[in-house]
Amino acid sequence: MKDIDPDAMTVDELWEIHERISQVLCNKIQSEQRKLDGHLSRLRLGVTSGANQQSDDESGPKPARRPYPKVYPKYRSLKDPSLTWAGRGKQPLWLIDELKSGKSIDDFLIRAKPSNVRKKRR
Q: 3-state DSSP helix/strand/coil percent for the chain, to nearest 5?
A: 40, 5, 55
pLDDT of residue 119: 58
What's the pLDDT at 22? 92
**pLDDT computed for residue 121 by the predictor:** 59
Query: For position 117, what pLDDT does the model report?
Result: 54
pLDDT, averaged per 10 consecutive residues of the chain (122 residues), comes to: 80 91 92 90 71 54 83 91 92 93 91 63 58
* Three-state DSSP state, 66: coil
Q: Categorise residue 18: left if φ over 0, alpha if ψ from -120 to 50, beta otherwise.
A: alpha
For 75, phi and psi rounded to 5 degrees?
Answer: -130, 145
